[in-house]
Homo-oligomer: A and B are copies of this chain.
Amino acid sequence: MLLKIDFESEVPIYLQLKNQIIEGIAQKELVENDSLPSVRQLAEDIGINMHTVNKAYNMLKDDGFIKLDRRKGAVISRVPCRVTEEYKNKLQDEMKAVIAEAYCKGMKEEEFKEICSSIFKEYERRTES
C-alpha cells in the first residue's frame, strides 16, 4: 500500500497517516492480519521521524484498527468497534459543521449525498471483490 504525505498540508502528518491507513482498510488494501511496516521502516520510507509514525500507530491501536503484537509488530485487526452512541454524536456534530458550510455555499442535499454515495460505493465495490 502506498502512503502519500502532503508536507504542506495543515493536517498533521500523523493524522494523514492514520486516515490513509483507515482508508486502506476501508477499501480492503489492508485486511485482517496484514502487518504494517515497522515504525522505523515506515518512517524511513516516508522520510519522517519515527515518533510521528509511532503516534499514528498508537492512535490506530486505541481505536481498535490495529493491534501491536509483541512479536510481529503492528497488524491489522478485525475491526471490532461497533457504531456507539458516542461515535454517532461525534459524527453528527462533525457533519453539522461540514453540511452547514456546504449548505450556505448553495450545495443541494442531492449533490452532497451523491458525493457520499460514490465514496461508499467505492469501498463496497472493493469489499465484494
Q: Are B100 and A109 in contact (CB under 8 A)?
A: no
A92 within 8 A of partner (CB): yes
Q: Are A94 and B105 in contact (CB under 8 A)?
A: no
Q: Are B69 and A104 in contact (CB under 8 A)?
A: no
Copies in the complex: 4
Q: Are A103 and B81 in contact (CB under 8 A)?
A: no
Within 8 Å CB of A102, what residues of B? 83, 91
Query: Roughly how many angstroms separate A117 CA and B99 CA in the complex, as a whole number?
Result: 10
Q: Are B67 and A8 in contact (CB under 8 A)?
A: yes
Within 8 Å CB of A107, what residues of B? 83
A37 within 8 A of partner (CB): no
Q: Are B95 and A91 in contact (CB under 8 A)?
A: no
A79 within 8 A of partner (CB): yes
Query: Roughly how many angstroms separate A25 CA and B98 CA in the complex, as a whole number?
Result: 13
A residues with a Cβ closer than 8 A to B are 7-9, 12-13, 19, 22-23, 25-27, 48, 63, 65, 67-72, 79, 81-83, 87-88, 91-92, 94-107, 109, 111-113, 115-117, 119-121, 123-124
